[in-house]
Structure 1
Amino acid sequence: MERAKRKRLPKREELEEKYTWDLTRIFPSIEAWEDAFKEVKASLPEVEKFKGRLGESAGNLLAALRFQDEISNKMGKVYTYAHLKHDEDTGNSTFQDLYDRAVSLDIELMSAFSFLIPEILAIPGERLEEFLQAEEELRLYRHYLDDLSRRRTHTLSPNEEYILAQVKELANSPSNIFSMLNNADLTFPMIHDEEGEEVELTKGRYIQFLQSKDRRVREEAFKTLYETYGKFKNTWAAAIQGEVKKNIFFARVRKFPSALEASLHRDHVPKEVYENLIETVHRNLDQMYRYVALRKKFLGVEELHMYDLYVPMVKEVEMRYSFDEAVDTVLKGLAPLGEEYLHLLQEGIKSRWIDVYENQGKRAGAYSSGTYGTPPYILLNYQDDLESLFTLSHELGHSMHSYYSRKYQPYIYARYSIFVAEVASTLNEALMNHYLLQRTKNKRERMYLINHHLEDFRTTVFRQTMFAEFEKWIHEQVERGEALNQEKLSRYYYDLNRKYFGDDIVVDREIAYEWTRIPHFYYNFYVYKYATGFSAATTLSQMILQEGKPAVDRYIQFLKMGGSDYPLNELKEAGVDMTSPEPIQKALDLFKNLLDQLEQLLEE
């Protein structure tokens, strides 16, 4: 069913089957899910037989690791089915129940296995090496065991680890408070649309209003949103301070010098990678200032304001794609990745990996999900526009990464690190940008597409780096014994905006409260990965376009590696060294090149 033909939001059962995902490939029915749930539940007591015995022999250790893989694999399917069914209709009480039970069972499983890592780390390194030499099949787990050994000095006794596992649910309180206030309790006043009619401002509609051609609508939406958030500034400050203290608590308990280094340790990423990102972006802020000045010129305003940053610079360009047209366009745009990649994409789409359209109760947004032994499912809320086309290519990038990882890696290494998670998705977008720019002969379309790509840079490299700098600062403040009150947070955040956007924009006072609405500040140093991932993907896409097959082969090999090596090593295999500022600088060089092209088109 094409989106344009709809008169109202359909119920789930009214959607055409071919535009919905096929979850029967996980479980044919809810009854089958119930059987799997009971099987996992019944397996939990069996975990006890391994407790206290891992260091006795290589055979015991191998058996415990295999059992963990087996039961975790089953749990992955139970959880994935429940969360996908829940998201296709969040109002369905049956699916809510499945999801809640799956979450609870997953926590039980993690608690049951909480002894495993401390016991492995209690085995002396020399004895562990003897186990690996004595038991050939244990060698599959060498990277896993080596990675655990890195954590040896940061892991506590089994009893202490059990306590920390129990504390984790309590430690989520700051994030839960933020989420409930932000998603459930916060409401916004009515504003006036382009026709002067009263309409409700919501978080979902906010960016749409900021993209309005009517500047009054943009300003009203911007000021109304931040004035509403500002009313709760002390509550937001308390929540974010609680989150920061939680991160610092776990870092100190585990003997890390800082919360930042504790977060980076999991991916074996040195602090220099984080600092390189911020420093390299700082060195290129003049290009952001150039972009801001160009935006001001394009829009023809005497003063550029923060609420003018999202409206398209190039007006009267409408690029529409039905879902089927988008699929065809994406297949053409991703042709540089080779025949095998395209064939797998076509087969995946045909076999219903994707849940395409919005329906009543469906979760908002888009994502790629799945687990070992299932298809890499995609949730969309497709809207027939250019943004939806890019979202489709983005999520297909995630899904193809998951497909290759799960096909070519054993269970223990099938999940890739979050550090590399945005590379495959963003690379697809970069190739799509290149394809669309190459094929268009229309000057205004070309300008529109360049503007779209520049906006990707602004929001993913510059903005996420600004977020990363803010996150680093708030943790350093608390680590020094300073309090985080709303006034201090807002003042620093306002000054950061002035630094990143320059003098050609009026940094409206309301932007000082933007930190109050960013959920990623509750993700423990997550945001920098968007910027590093985008930079790595941009560099790799340029290699693929310039070198062809050799670069494609390296890239596909990277997709197949899953979590079998550390993320920085995997990226080096693909041809990118993220310990160096070079990939970030190369990406920002492309940003400069795109600016040059847009300025030239403006002068023609």
Structure 2
Amino acid sequence: MGNQSNRMMRKEVPENQTWNLRDIFSSREDWEKELDAVQEDVESVTQFKNRLNEGSKTLLQCLEAKEELLRRFNLAASYASLKQTVDHTDTASQKDAARVEEAGSKINASLAFTESEIIALPKEKIDACLAEEEGLQSFKKYLTDLQNRKPHTLGEETEETLAALGSVFSAPYNIYNRGKLSDMQFDSFVDEEGNELPLSFALYEGKYSSSVSADVRRNSYESFVNTLQKYKNSFAATYATQVNQEVITARLRKYDSVTDMLLEPQQVTKEMYNNQLDIIQEELAPHMRKYARLKKRELGLDKLTFADLHAPLDPDFKIETSYEEGAETVKEALKIMGDEYNEMVEKALSERWVDYADNVGKSTGAFCSSPYGAHPYVLMTWPDTMRGTFTLAHELGHAGHFYLAGRYQRMTNTRPSRYFIEAPSTMNEMLLGHHLLSKDNDKRTKRWVILQLLGTYFHNFVTHLLEGELQRRVYSLAEDGEPLTASVLSEQKSDILKSFWGDTVEIDEGASLTWMRQPHYYMGLYPYTYSAGLTVSTLVSKDIINEGQPAVDRWLDVLKAGGTMEPLDLIKKAGVDMSDPDNIRKAVAYVGSLIDELEESYE
């Protein structure tokens, strides 16, 4: 985060480094007026309550009214949320964000009847409505998806009760975050020169774990793990509560298993889910062990501990880059994507869609928010090094996806399955990596680019994937009635890490507490989807580089399709069949080839 004293306050940031929220509302007064108006206009939808069985006209009018109301609310919510993320110290923005949250709860409660009434309609009735009202065709997938939930829907009263308990169901996630971000206090530690350094969750994960100094990495790890130890039983109870409520809900809703319930909204088969977990663990492990041995040798370490996994391989080498130069590099790398896509990239970079300043109170990390009816907004903090270009390219991948989906689809049809969401973003990282590697660079620059790409694969194919493996085991244990205690969770995590890393990395007791470090376990079957998106982008980016235009056109069609197709069919449109496990093997083999190339650069 750097020293607070030399960081700018938000009001001191030059305007060109900030995003332009006037593209959504020209002033806060306009925003406030619209937020009030949207809440008053809820009756444009509630007038249809208990009337959805009247026929196709009424159904269409209701769906259009609901979509329009949500479009307006979404813009108001995005405006408040974007304002807050750039300065959490601004109390007015905090209040505005709280107002939006309250309004959202009320609006969602008022609109809940639409889905339950549609689910209650007989399938024949829906088919007849679709046949006689052409306007309903663009809602077809939405209506079909709702009908598919029918076997798992409970009585209206029960559904209302479960909806009212929403905040209770999300309590484990909130308790986890409160414990992690507010209560945990870490002891400071000493570096190799005897300086005492402060420690927090964010400092460990974001800074010390990838420090150049082995002393800093290992000593901060020791202090970090000591604190985790003190919280493991309460964190285990919190996570067990999350899992148990999911298992109970799956039984109540008559799913064969909790996995079936969690995969249903993703529209992914169990086989596709298991393929990602099985094949990557089995086939990537030998390559990653080779990478670990290389790291140990080149860094001159007596042993590679779990604390050393993120040690930088070429720590002294940094490519300094300004935001302007980085933006130019990203533009060059994405030229291959054609006119329409490049027009979007050009606008994003010249019309202030990106907020890249570093100021006190700004959210860390990076994201892309794409409110329908406005343009996407990207948040990041420019690091003054080439690493920033990968972050920028990644977030512009999300932006390009939803910009095109928003241009070609109605709001209801813009979001595809979560299984696909990380493909367009990692695609741009792949194209940027290829662009940088194809330049006539010296050995060290090439090595740096390979290390950036390996960072992307480590994040998605190792960290998140092994989270996914723990989830798979935990759900299976819970369904067998095994109590999920801290020692059970640690044993499972330790076993997963040992079978992946073999004897190349020392898996100590602290490593077995990795289940305490990420919030993803509270988000359904989310972690494994990172590897699915990256598998897709690895294969399709190769097609784009080898075939050029025809492969680009297929990819753009996929982005424009938004949420109109199930993920398997959507990805087939790009030329990849994710039900064929060989495609996962090809992506893993590519990671192996990068590691081989890296090793050669040291010879």
Checking the alignment, whether the CA contact within 8 Å between 2:24 and 2:79 is kept in structure 1 is: yes
TM-superposed CA distance for 1:168, in Å, is 1.2
**Cα distance change of structure 1 residues 41 and 144 upon mapping to structure 2, 3 Å threshold:** same
What is the identity, as a one-letter code, of the residue corresponding to 1:173? A
* Aligned residue in 2 for 1:225: 224
* Aligned residue in 2 for 1:298: 298
TM-score (norm 1): 0.96
Checking the alignment, whether the CA contact within 8 Å between 1:82 and 1:99 is kept in structure 2 is: yes
* Aligned residue in 2 for 1:62: 60
Q: How is 1:150-549 mapped onto 2 (pairs within 5 angstroms)? A: 150-193=148-191, 195-206=193-204, 207-284=206-283, 285-549=285-549
What is the identity, as a one-letter code, of the residue corresponding to 2:27? S
- Distance of 2:201 and 2:323 partners within structure 1: 25
- The CA RMSD over aligned residues, in Å, is 1.8
The one-character-per-residue Cα deviations of 1:301-324 (angstroms, maximum 9, x if unpaired) are 231111111111124211111111
- Distance of 2:546 and 2:94 partners within structure 1: 49
Indicate whether 1:80 and 2:75 are aligned: no
**Cα distance change of structure 1 residues 282 and 365 upon mapping to structure 2, 3 Å threshold:** closer
TM-superposed CA distance for 1:368, in Å, is 0.1
* Aligned residue in 1 for 2:569: 569
- Distance of 1:70 and 1:158 partners within structure 2: 26
The one-character-per-residue Cα deviations of 1:223-242 (angstroms, maximum 9, x if unpaired) are 11111111101111011011
Checking the alignment, whether the CA contact within 8 Å between 2:267 and 2:417 is kept in structure 1 is: no
Checking the alignment, whether the CA contact within 8 Å between 2:416 and 2:566 is kept in structure 1 is: no
TM-superposed CA distance for 1:416, in Å, is 3.0
Indicate whether 1:584 and 2:584 are aligned: yes
TM-superposed CA distance for 1:327, in Å, is 0.2
The one-character-per-residue Cα deviations of 1:468-501 (angstroms, maximum 9, x if unpaired) are 1101111111111111010111111111111111
**Cα distance change of structure 1 residues 157 and 50 upon mapping to structure 2, 3 Å threshold:** farther
The one-character-per-residue Cα deviations of 1:575-597 (angstroms, maximum 9, x if unpaired) are 12212212321111111111221
Checking the alignment, whether the CA contact within 8 Å between 1:111 and 1:162 is kept in structure 2 is: no
What is the identity, as a one-letter code, of the residue corresponding to 1:143? K
Q: 1:130 aligns with which of 125, 128, 131?
A: 128
Unaligned runs of 5+ in 1: none
- Distance of 2:575 and 2:303 partners within structure 1: 43
- Distance of 1:45 and 1:322 partners within structure 2: 51
Checking the alignment, whether the CA contact within 8 Å between 2:55 and 2:129 is kept in structure 1 is: yes
Checking the alignment, whether the CA contact within 8 Å between 2:370 and 2:403 is kept in structure 1 is: no
The one-character-per-residue Cα deviations of 1:310-354 (angstroms, maximum 9, x if unpaired) are 111124211111111110111112222223322220112111101
Indicate whether 1:140 and 2:138 are aligned: yes
The one-character-per-residue Cα deviations of 1:535-565 (angstroms, maximum 9, x if unpaired) are 1111111111011000000011111111111
- Distance of 2:52 and 2:296 partners within structure 1: 65
- Distance of 2:460 and 2:180 partners within structure 1: 23
**Secondary structure class of the residue paired with 2:6:** coil
Q: 1:34 aligns with which of 23, 32, 41?
A: 32
Give the number of aligned pairs: 601
**Secondary structure class of the residue paired with 2:312:** coil
Checking the alignment, whether the CA contact within 8 Å between 1:119 and 1:158 is kept in structure 2 is: no
Checking the alignment, whether the CA contact within 8 Å between 1:454 and 1:591 is kept in structure 2 is: yes
**Secondary structure class of the residue paired with 1:256:** coil
- Distance of 1:205 and 1:174 partners within structure 2: 24
- Distance of 1:441 and 1:44 partners within structure 2: 59
- Distance of 2:404 and 2:332 partners within structure 1: 21
- Distance of 1:7 and 1:449 partners within structure 2: 33
TM-superposed CA distance for 1:250, in Å, is 2.4
Checking the alignment, whether the CA contact within 8 Å between 1:115 and 1:161 is kept in structure 2 is: no
**Secondary structure class of the residue paired with 1:232:** helix
* Aligned residue in 2 for 1:553: 553
TM-score (norm 2): 0.97
* Aligned residue in 2 for 1:10: 8
The one-character-per-residue Cα deviations of 1:12-46 (angstroms, maximum 9, x if unpaired) are 11111111111111111111111111112112344
What is the identity, as a one-letter code, of the residue corresponding to 1:583? N
Checking the alignment, whether the CA contact within 8 Å between 1:115 and 1:162 is kept in structure 2 is: no
What is the identity, as a one-letter code, of the residue corresponding to 1:41? Q
TM-superposed CA distance for 1:211, in Å, is 2.2
**Secondary structure class of the residue paired with 2:526:** coil
- Distance of 1:555 and 1:156 partners within structure 2: 40
TM-superposed CA distance for 1:126, in Å, is 1.3
**Secondary structure class of the residue paired with 1:368:** strand
Checking the alignment, whether the CA contact within 8 Å between 2:414 and 2:563 is kept in structure 1 is: yes
- Distance of 2:509 and 2:73 partners within structure 1: 48
The one-character-per-residue Cα deviations of 1:180-208 (angstroms, maximum 9, x if unpaired) are 11111212111224543222112222242
Checking the alignment, whether the CA contact within 8 Å between 2:353 and 2:378 is kept in structure 1 is: yes
**Secondary structure class of the residue paired with 1:317:** coil
- Distance of 1:431 and 1:139 partners within structure 2: 36
**Secondary structure class of the residue paired with 2:318:** coil
The 10-residue stretch of structure 1 (236-245 or 43-52) with the greater mean CA deviation from structure 2: 43-52
**Secondary structure class of the residue paired with 1:231:** helix
- Distance of 1:187 and 1:444 partners within structure 2: 40
- Distance of 2:139 and 2:479 partners within structure 1: 37
- Distance of 2:589 and 2:563 partners within structure 1: 30
**Secondary structure class of the residue paired with 2:139:** helix
**Secondary structure class of the residue paired with 2:53:** coil
What is the identity, as a one-letter code, of the residue corresponding to 1:242? T
- Distance of 1:61 and 1:157 partners within structure 2: 21
**Secondary structure class of the residue paired with 1:115:** helix
What is the identity, as a one-letter code, of the residue corresponding to 1:66? E
**Secondary structure class of the residue paired with 2:525:** coil
What is the identity, as a one-letter code, of the residue corresponding to 2:519? P
**Secondary structure class of the residue paired with 1:540:** helix
- Distance of 1:542 and 1:131 partners within structure 2: 44
What is the identity, as a one-letter code, of the residue corresponding to 2:225? Y
* Aligned residue in 2 for 1:24: 22
What is the identity, as a one-letter code, of the residue corresponding to 1:52? N
What is the identity, as a one-letter code, of the residue corresponding to 1:458? F
**Secondary structure class of the residue paired with 2:510:** helix
The one-character-per-residue Cα deviations of 1:136-165 (angstroms, maximum 9, x if unpaired) are 212221111112121111122332222221
- Distance of 2:457 and 2:306 partners within structure 1: 17
Checking the alignment, whether the CA contact within 8 Å between 1:493 and 1:512 is kept in structure 2 is: yes
What is the identity, as a one-letter code, of the residue corresponding to 1:69? E
What is the identity, as a one-letter code, of the residue corresponding to 2:233? N
The one-character-per-residue Cα deviations of 1:224-276 (angstroms, maximum 9, x if unpaired) are 11111111011110110111112223222222112211111012111111100
Checking the alignment, whether the CA contact within 8 Å between 1:118 and 1:157 is kept in structure 2 is: no
- Distance of 1:194 and 1:462 partners within structure 2: 30
What is the identity, as a one-letter code, of the residue corresponding to 1:428? N
Checking the alignment, whether the CA contact within 8 Å between 2:247 and 2:258 is kept in structure 1 is: yes
What is the identity, as a one-letter code, of the residue corresponding to 1:76? N
- Distance of 2:329 and 2:401 partners within structure 1: 20
What is the identity, as a one-letter code, of the residue corresponding to 1:370? S
TM-superposed CA distance for 1:80, in Å, is 0.5
**Secondary structure class of the residue paired with 1:509:** coil
- Distance of 1:351 and 1:416 partners within structure 2: 27
Checking the alignment, whether the CA contact within 8 Å between 2:44 and 2:65 is kept in structure 1 is: no
Checking the alignment, whether the CA contact within 8 Å between 1:226 and 1:514 is kept in structure 2 is: no
- Distance of 1:8 and 1:242 partners within structure 2: 43
The one-character-per-residue Cα deviations of 1:94-130 (angstroms, maximum 9, x if unpaired) are 1111111111111112111212122112211112111
The 10-residue stretch of structure 1 (406-415 or 38-47) with the greater mean CA deviation from structure 2: 38-47
**Secondary structure class of the residue paired with 2:105:** helix
